[in-house]
Amino acid sequence: MAEEEKNGKRGRACVVVLGDIGRSPRMQYHALSLARQASFEVDIVAYGGSEPHSALLEHKSIHIYKMKQWPTIPPGLPKILKPGVLLIKPLIQFFMLLWFLCFKIAAPDVFLVQNPPSVPTLVAVKWASWLRGSAFIIDWHNFGYTLLALSLGRSSRFVALYRWFERYFGKMANGSLCVTRAMQHELAQNWSIKASVLYDQPPEFFHPATLEEKHKLFYRLEKDLSQPHGFRDCATIGTGGLLQKDTDGTLFSTLVGTDIVLRPNRPALIVSSTSWTPDEDFEILLEAAVMYDRRVSAILGEDNSIEEEVVWNEMLSGKQYLYPRLLFVITGKGPEKQKYEEKIKRLRLKRVAFRTMWLSAEDYPLLLGSADLGLCLHTSSSGLDLPMKVVDMFGCGLPVCAVSYSCIKELVKVEKNGLLFSSSSELADELLLLFKGFPDACDALMLLRNGALETGSSARWDVEWEENAKPLISEVISRNVS
């Protein structure tokens, strides 16, 4: 540290997130790498809310400063007052950020800020970097103006103003990182910003789960997994008489003597994580679920008049079907969650069930490592970012079905580690293809799982960060000192 101070370096970095740090995994990984691989003291300035990963909380060189969250606008607020509230909000956020960055933390060598949101984050960090003699790096996850356009429309003057602001202050940064080659090209061509690509990669705690880890996780989540949305559904049949007699069993696994085994008639477990925002269209999933249910009934020649209970009792008695039950577990928090939960409650399906839940930072990787398929409905407001959830899924050896958009093929290699779809009908077709013969005779799914395992083991976050982020951070700090 004495040598660093002699060279004008402080040995500190500040990670800035105008959002919930527990729901910002990439910035958590940045903080860990700055502490572990660059030996910095790291201050995180962010909102609280969700618990970050225990690796952050336990690291002695990482210090988290939580700002007060801006209260949500009351539903009954008169329309005439809303514009004023929307103008006051960024002003309060600006001064709060400036207070934390200039007075609450020690002066860092570099501020590393997540974008979006751009307003008022970029101007606050720029001012703080100038006042404290620090460098300023933006990590471009997406564009803020394209997210705003989802609600206001591309032609809105506010969207145009937001884009100007984002571009103007983006160019003031001492360095930039971004998540795709497509975004790097856009920043260079249309924003005059040079950015280094830092692909999202899974950290070491994303890995395929062992049988013991699966069984313990399913046991912990048994209450959540056995709670149906609306009517009793096909996933609750495993929580009836079968599990009442089998106190060591779960919907997916049980003990035979001292050995853990997966149930042969278990549902296929499909996981999707989401922030429940408009850039993820869950209508596609609900429609695909209905199509899967109806198509399986047609393939098996079932009479439509047969009640769900009859089919469920056959499943419970051990009858094997060519196509399994599907249990979709959707994790995350966000504004549209309640709307879709209401729609799920109204579905009456024989072979498909849904669960929504929020998992700890420790249990989420275990769920991915225990699932049979990952699902990604992210469409990207800009078409230039990649869903980190898919990266995490590959880290756990989990194959993926993802919505197709412009740059998704930078991540999902079709028929190697996943499949792409553009409609609910295509997704239903893929579910039928992958789960035919589940659990032991689904060759197409096994092929994708092998590809996902290969993808997940080929690169890890610490290697990617060492090669692409660390040199930029070192260079920016050195230029700023000199």
The pLDDT tens digits of the residues spanning 203-257 come to 888 999 999 999 999 999 988 887 665 567 878 775 443 444 456 788 899 888 8
pLDDT at 107 over 60: yes
What is the average per-residue pLDDT within 80-95?
78
Q: Which are the contacts of 27, defined by CB distance < 8 A and separation ≥ 6?
A: 15, 17, 21, 44, 46, 112, 114, 139
Q: How far apart are CA 232 and CA 439, in angstroms?
A: 24
**Within its chain, how far is the Cα of 375 from the centroid?**
11
Closest-CA residue to 385 (of 208, 195, 121): 195
pLDDT at 242: 40
Cα separation, 186 vs 86, in Å, equals 29
First to last CA, the chain: 18
CB environment 189-217: b (16+ within 10 A), e (fewer): eebebebbbbbbbbbebbbbbeeebbbbb
Examine the pLDDT at 6 and tell me if it is beyond 60: no
Q: How confident is the model at residue 52 (pLDDT cuts 50, 70, 90)?
A: very high
- Predicted local distance difference test score (pLDDT) of residue 8: 63
pLDDT at 425 over 60: yes
Please report the pLDDT score of residue 240 as a whole number. 44
Lowest-pLDDT range of 48-62, 238-252, 285-299, 451-465: 238-252
Cis before 120? omega within 30: yes
Q: Calculate the alpha carbon distances from 283 to 204, 354, 468 in Å.
A: 34, 13, 38
> pLDDT (tens digit, 9 = 90+) per residue, 364-421?
999 999 999 999 999 888 888 989 999 999 999 999 999 999 889 999 999 999 999 9
Number of helices (H), then strands (E), belonging to the chain: the values are 20, 15
For β-strands 268-273 and 373-376, DSSP reports them as parallel
- CB-count exposure of residue 387 (10 Å: 0-12, 13-18, 19+): buried
- The structural domains of the chain, ordered by start, are 12-201+461-481 (3.40.50.2000), 211-458 (3.40.50.2000)
Nearest alpha carbon to residue 203 among 468, 471, 21, 465: 465
Q: Pick the more confident residue, 191 or 69.
A: 191
Q: Cα separation of 83 and 80, whole Å?
A: 7
Closest CA to 23 of 280, 333, 462, 272: 333
Return all residues near 112 (Cβ < 8 A) that are at least 6 apart.
13, 14, 15, 16, 27, 30, 34, 137, 139, 473
How far, in Å, CA of 479 to CA of 482, rounded? 5
Please check the confidence at residue 3 and state whether its pLDDT lies above 50: no
Q: pLDDT: is 238 or 296 the higher one?
A: 296
Q: What token pair was written down for 224?
A: 């959540």
Helix (H, G, I), strand (E, B) or coil at 114: strand
Amino acid at 380: S
Q: How far apart are CA 109 and CA 476, in angstroms?
A: 9
pLDDT tier at 75 (50, 70, 90 boundaries)?
Answer: low
In this predicted structure, which of 162-166, 313-317, 439-443 has the lowest mean pLDDT?
313-317
The predicted structure's pLDDT at residue 89: 85
